[in-house]
Structure 1
């Protein structure tokens, strides 16, 4: 029965192989910084999770009933060194995660204009932002380029290495505007304007 259950998971593995890992392979600097924040946060959490899971298995095996050689100390109740490790390690991880989250929240604020095109290349006066007005309609998105007097539906075109300033709203219900390869998700809401700033660093279709 267990083998049959394992075989049932094979089609799921095939479906997962077709998933796009665009969040971990971004095309813009803003999305790349978000990717780095996710990776670093995950690694910091694994510093605690992996030892805890490993020690759980180790202690279950070490102190199993059939292991007569395991040390049995029924009167043991405290270890200062162990307490320091148990409390200090998670506390340091939480402090690091809190600092990263605070810095990332302000650095990657969608309303904040980007200050670099990519690492080592700051935004200068030569990088004129491309203004794009986004209107969420029923089942589609309208992209308006006010500086060029043109518009497109469900297709955004933008040059490489040029800041993009999005102004986003909705004609009816609230919608989610998200281009994983460029920047984070933000809502399009009626009678309101939200903002998003991004940049494309390599050409492609996303």
Structure 2
């Protein structure tokens, strides 16, 4: 483990517990350029905050020891009122830290814009968040997958999202940050993977009784394998039924379909459709 990962890893371990840390599913174990930039931003904040916290953690016990009630070596000066040098030191360091943190946040906000393309010719995917499930539509490939996002590891991806009924917060922690999926609206998330692998995706916004089940797997495959997987899915899938949302809500859906309805995403994302699919 490199030095820039030791401190955040320890903090994450104590914050969410050993089981979560052992799964290595957070952005600290970045598997894509967006998550890697998030980790670098997080680590830089920790180091700058250490400029304030470390002297405090060291200085407080030293002062308590030096000026303790019995036997302290510090001299009590009842006529002492102020020190210009101490005032400069006390206020200048926090001002510099806060100023840098503000600039760092502004820079990271712009560079980590989820709508910002990560490369030319991205894979286009449309995501529909429904109660307990996610549908992923691939307009150019003509297929739909349920609870499984198939990515080409050699290509960036642009994910357009909407929700059937309520607000959801979608993220693939090891690849990209969080983005809201909202009924009657379309949001966008650009992501990419450094290498082939399987990464967990989930909804982090409570959305109802089936909230714990609103998870999906993101598979990043080598280009050749990805094309083969798409062809195999296309050959084995049946046509997309008109009531697909109702079927998967009842647990009666398939894992993949042929995208016979090219306007499904547009209809659900249209403002006038809000509430029509409850």
TM-score (norm 2): 0.63
* 1:71 aligns to 2:78 (yes or no): no
Distance 1:39 1:69 in 2: 39
Distance 1:105 1:35 in 2: 13
> What residue in structure 2 maps to residue 92 of structure 1?
96
Instruction: Give the total of aligned pairs.
Output: 183
- Report the Cα offset of residue 162 of structure 1: 1.1
Match of 1:162 among 144, 150, 155: 155
Distance 2:18 2:38 in 1: 23
Distance 2:139 2:46 in 1: 41
Distance 2:121 2:79 in 1: 72
- Report the Cα offset of residue 161 of structure 1: 3.3
Compared CA separation, residues 68 and 136, structure 1 to 2 (3 A): closer
Compared CA separation, residues 43 and 68, structure 1 to 2 (3 A): closer
> What residue in structure 2 maps to residue 185 of structure 1?
178
> What residue in structure 2 maps to residue 204 of structure 1?
197
Give unmatched runs, 5+ long, in structure 1: 1-11, 115-122
Distance 2:140 2:183 in 1: 23
Distance 2:196 2:84 in 1: 57
> What residue in structure 2 maps to residue 135 of structure 1?
128
Distance 1:175 1:69 in 2: 59
Match of 1:57 among 57, 61, 66: 61
Of structures 1 and 2, the one scoring higher in RCO (CA 8 A, sep 6+) is: 1
- Report the Cα offset of residue 68 of structure 1: 4.4
Distance 1:72 1:45 in 2: 32
Partner SS for 2:152: coil
Match of 1:172 among 165, 173, 179: 165
TM-score (norm 1): 0.84
